[in-house]
Structure 1
């Protein structure tokens, strides 16, 4: 198991252990001494180095399957290709050499319309996995609860909820960490999910950004207040940063981060129907039982923390 220290990774380890699997987690060496993952063996190394994956991860042992919840931390071009493609390739090649027969990959539904570096990197690895000869399951979830929880504190503080456009430009079927983890874990034993790309969302109908805000205000017992943010704002920022990035290289990644923000402000996290050229909420599969409303309610009550990490930009 790689990517085990993230919120979804930890939830997936819990699900694997609950299903009776013996789990070995391969984590970064600089964090390894501080990482304890209940029910799992933790090994340390560097997944961006092929020799470390073989020597420190597999250790000459036999494994039945590899589960990867690994993803680049920022989405910047260099980071994306180093992690979402190259590190995944190191893992795949080591798995094949070790006789692993099954590989479950956590990908993302946004790769359906690739415009960004991390999307192209993910797609390139998906293609490599599909042609590897291993039994694979490529899971493409819609929005995570944590990625659409960034405005909870604003609402609690009496501030307006920010909308892009009129708040109906995008919709998603968000899924909880635990429900997604259960889906990933059962890919190991559900033959119907073998050698397939699997889009998956949470329970209930799709929700727009405005509906997310309305839900938050209702749960917080506050009158709804919205402020519209024009999407054109992103275009101006992206243009300036890309121009400056021609002479100041560090600004290139900042331009990419702005492009990521624009993408999520304008593209739905639902199944894309290329025939009719639109997102199809009804065709986006649902799984699990945890609702966005219950998640927001727990955040508002302080029962859980806003744990977005690098997702805070979204």
Structure 2
């Protein structure tokens, strides 16, 4: 791949976006990043000859005028896990991406790659998934070539389990036999950038290894060098927590809790990809 491929990357300062930026640079692509705060980019990166940094706010369409000019493909990882500044999932996961899509259509962009979530359609009653899937429908109807990337969870999402292991006890829902194969950001970034040349319309993707939640907890305890202590939280307690949280929390606080408590109760297994292991990720966390 060479610099003839011109990519706009939205979300370059986030967990996945930072890996995608590195992968694009590694493949010698021209990259234009749209960021709200340039200080969050790696130091010195804006001096690279094939990188152009544009400051804009994707939630404010007036700041995006012309952002997609001379761009071949847009990659968006735009979305929020913790709602701040009074913004909602509808404001960011839906409307901000729609603002980008509208600019892409105006500029004659060929393709739009969007990172959604595995089984998003099945979780359509959750606010975050409602917003993401609403944008997916807009993208599919846009007339642009597109690819919807659906990862099942990042290694970074497993950090909370690692932290619990550090404290000496890990809590899992039900019997802990729900399965998942989370993926490292670097592996997922490679798959996303591969879509520049692919004709895939949708890509469900997970990491190379599938674990039960109990097994993930054991890996975390192994990394911290502590005897495993796992507490199984009954499913009725999970459901009660959902109801109580909805009553006492603001919508912005409840959104991430709602998603977590629902996703952790089911299997989240996607086709395997990548080489990086969760055990190595936990070992790296333990060295920090």
Q: Report the secondary structure of 1:150's partner residue.
A: helix
Q: TM-score, normalised by structure 2?
A: 0.87
C-alpha distance 254-231 of structure 1, shift in aligned 2 (>3 A): farther
2:79/2:93 contact within 8 Å kept? yes
- 1:65 is displaced (CA, Å) by 0.8
CA contact 2:97–2:135 (8 Å) conserved in 1: yes
Q: Are 2:12 and 1:4 aligned?
A: yes
Matches for 1:246-265 after TM superposition, within 5 Å = 251-265=250-264
Going from structure 1 to structure 2, the CA distance change for 1:298 and 1:35 (only over 3 Å counts) comes to closer
Q: 2:94 — aligned with what? A: 85
Separation in 1, partners of 2:39, 2:164:
36
Deviation at 1:294, TM superposition (A): 1.2
CA spacing shift, 1:88–1:161, aligned 2, 3 Å: same
Distance of 1:238 and 1:221 partners within structure 2: 33
Specify whether residues 258 and 174 from structure 1 end up closer, same or farther in structure 2 by C-alpha distance, changes over 3 A only. closer
Bigger shift: 291-300 or 3-12? 291-300
Distance in 1, Cα, partners of 2:89 & 2:211: 29
Aligned-partner SS, 2:65: helix
* Pick aligned residue for 2:282 from 285, 293, 296: 296
- Alpha-carbon distance, 1:143 to partner: 1.4
Provide structure 1 residue ranges, at least 5 long, that are not aligned to the other structure.
Answer: 245-249, 271-283, 303-314
The whole-number CA distance in structure 1 between the counterparts of 2:173 and 2:130 is 25
Q: Secondary structure at the match of 1:149?
A: helix
Please report the TM-score for the alignment, with normalisation by the length of structure 1. Answer: 0.80
- The CA distance in 2 between the partners of 1:217 and 1:253, in whole Å, is 32
Q: Which residue does the alignment assign to 1:97?
A: 106
Tell me the equivalent position of 1:286.
272
Superposition deviation, residue 148 in structure 1: 1.2
The question of whether the paired residues in 1 share the 8 Å contact of 2:10 and 2:78 is answered with yes
Q: 1:202 aligns with which of 189, 193, 207?
A: 207
Superposition CA RMSD, Å: 2.2
- For 1:32-111, what aligned pairs fall within 5 Å after superposition? 32=38, 35-36=41-42, 38=45, 39=48, 40-55=51-66, 57-58=67-68, 61-74=69-82, 79-111=88-120
User: Which residue in the other structure is 2:27 paired with?
Assistant: 19
> How many Å separate the matches in 2 of 1:43 and 1:36?
15
8 Å Cα contact 2:118-2:150 kept in structure 1: yes
Alignment check: 8 A CA contact 2:242 2:261 kept: no
Partners of 1:2 and 1:67 within 8 A in 2? yes
Q: Which runs of 5+ in 2 are unaligned?
A: 1-8
Structure 1 stretch displaced more, 286-295 or 235-244? 235-244
SS of the aligned residue for 1:137 comes to strand
Select 2:143's aligned residue among 133, 139, 147. 133
Q: Say whether the 8 Å CA contact 1:75–1:117 is kept in structure 2.
A: no
Residue pair 1:234, 1:259 contacting (<8 A) in 2 also: no
The DSSP-based 3-state class of the residue aligned with 1:67 is: strand
Distance 2:74 2:254 in 1: 34
* Cα-to-partner distance string for 1:95-121 (whole Å, 9 max, x where unaligned): 010110111111110403122011011
Give the CA deviation at 1:23.
Answer: 0.4
Q: What is the count of residue pairs matched by the alignment? A: 273
Evaluate the alpha carbon distance shift between residue 147 and residue 34 of structure 1 in structure 2; reply closer, same or farther with a 3 A threshold: closer
Deviates further, 70-79 or 83-92: 70-79
